[in-house]
Structures are given as C-alpha cells and as structure tokens.
Amino acid sequence: MKTFKFEILIVLLLIGTSCVKIDNYDLPDAKIEGRIIDVYTGENLLTTQGGFAIRVWERSWDFQNNNNFESLAVKQDGSYKNTKMFAGTYDMLCYGGAFWPCDTIKGVQITSKGIVQDFEVIPYLQVTDFKCILQKEGFTGNQLLLSCKLKAPRIEGLPKLYELKSFINTTPWCGNGHSIPINEYINSRIEFNRTWEEEMKLTGLSESSKESIIYTLPPLAVKSGYTYWVRIGVAVDDANRNYNYSEIVKVEIP
C-alpha cells in the first residue's frame, strides 16, 4: 500500500512539474533621467531626499486605471534617474512638491536607448540671501545663526504662509525628514499662519511686495570638532506642506 501511494505521489509531482513554465522575459532596461527646473532661475529646484516624486502611468496597453501609477524619486539636487523601466509610452507628472500644480506631460517614449525628460515648475516661494554665521564660544557656546529673505514670484492665489524652518544634519542629506531630531533643532522655526500680503504689511512692507524682510531664525547650538550641513526651508499651508529650500552649507566647527 505504501508503495502504491508513493507511485501516485511521483506521478502527481511529474504532472505538476510539466505545467511549470520558465520565466524567460527580459529584465526591464528602459532608461529615463532629467531635471526639475525652477522656471524663474533655470536652475534645479532643490529639495530633500523623498521630498516629492514624479508620477508615471504606462499607456502602452488598454484598460488603464489612473490610480495605477509608479513614482520616480526626485533627488536632493532636483534631478531624477531610473534605469529599470519597461519600454513603452508613459504619461508623467511632477507631484507633491512646493510648487504650483503643473500639467501632465503625455506620450513620453521610454526605450532602452534612454531619454532625457526635464520638467519646469513654478515654485511657491524662493529662499534668497541665505547666510549661516558661526558664533564661536560665546556665553552660550558655539552657535550657528541662520538668516534669509523670501521671494514670492506669484502672489495671487498663493496659499497661506505656514513656517520658516532651519534644518541641520551631520550628513550631506539635509532637509525635512533628514535633520537631527532633537527639540532644540526641531523648534528652530518661525510660524506664520497668515497670507503673504498680511506678512508684508505686518513687517512694514507694501502688501504687493514680492520680497520680504530679512528673517533670522533661533540659533542652533553646535559642538566643536563636528561637521554639519545646514539649510533653511519655507512651507506654505497647502495639502503637502513641503518646503522650498536654500542651498546646503557645510560648516566645520573647530
């Protein structure tokens, strides 16, 4: 009886094996890269790792669902690159960043030869005249004093100002989600909760002014012998509350 059961098991295994197909499809090798460009400066729109992404929908086959998209991560320097996509026709949209909503680019042909596809965006705000000054070994020890101005290229319809915030890290990755998580640093911010026009009037400028006063943020205590990466970001009160950033400054504390 045992022999009979064993023979049945062997037959079932052979039948199951005969039904298995070998997956011999080629791995995806289509390539795309590009920049997210600030239309006012022509430079890359600086962000932080994971700050926002590019949504892509493949349109090479029928029965598409607009909720069925992939996301291409945008790097801190405002560029992106992906070398493992399936060749095909795609729609692409920059989404979730600190910029005005933009149009979808349709019919992008991505192949194994590679393609460059840039995106131009209109940032909500710009951080200008960024300064980072080291105040050495005073009464409170070493401190970094951060200051900047803000610029609003488009005022009409701009969401309320949310906050101006400093970011500091001990690695070159610096920004929201990449900052030293202690209260002294987290709370180095200026909260607004008012419109751009209200902020201009409150600070003694014309409501139509496109450039702000100089803002100085609460100081950041730093330690001797450490290297820090520092920047400032400003967010408006939209659905994402993402930041428009200054460049990153590397500071070595003697």
Look up the pTM and report it.
Answer: 0.85
Residues 26-77: tens digit of each pLDDT: 688 899 999 999 999 999 999 999 899 999 999 887 656 677 889 999 999 9
State the pLDDT confidence band at 4, using cuts at 50, 70 and 90.
very low
Judged on CB neighbours under 10 Å (0-12, 13-18, 19+), 12 is exposed
Average pLDDT across the chain, whole number: 90
Share above pLDDT 90 across residues of the chain, in percent, rounded to a whole number:
80
Share above pLDDT 70 across residues of the chain, in percent, rounded to a whole number:
87
**The pLDDT of residue 27:** 80
* Contact indicator for 160, 193 with CB cutoff of 8 Å: yes
Residues 198-238: tens digit of each pLDDT: 999 999 999 999 999 999 999 999 999 999 999 999 999 99
**The pLDDT of residue 24:** 59
Residues 241-251: tens digit of each pLDDT: 999 999 999 99
d(C-alpha 43, C-alpha 244), whole Å: 13
**The pLDDT of residue 136:** 83
CA angle in degrees (0–180, nearest 5) for 81-61-113: 35
